[in-house]
Amino acid sequence: MSRTTRITGVARGALLGWLIAWVRAVAVAVR
């Protein structure tokens, strides 16, 4: 259980980071 939760946590963090990076890139491109 602990291993799966850690993996999912890391995956969620990576996905959030990717989304934030994408939003920032799009915002800069739009500007």
- For residue 13, what pLDDT is reported? 95
* Amino acid in position 17: G
Asked whether residue 3 carries a pLDDT value surpassing 90, the answer given is no
Task: Tell me what the pLDDT averaged over the chain comes to.
Answer: 93
Q: What is the pLDDT of residue 9?
A: 93
Structure tokens at 17: 């980071």
30 sits in the region (left: phi over 0; alpha: psi -120 to 50; else beta) called: alpha
Residue 20: pLDDT band by 50, 70, 90 thresholds? very high
Where do the H-state alpha helices sit in 1-31?
2-30
Distance CA 23, CA 15 (A): 12
Report how far residue 31's alpha carbon sits from residue 13's, in angstroms, rounded to the nearest whole number.
27
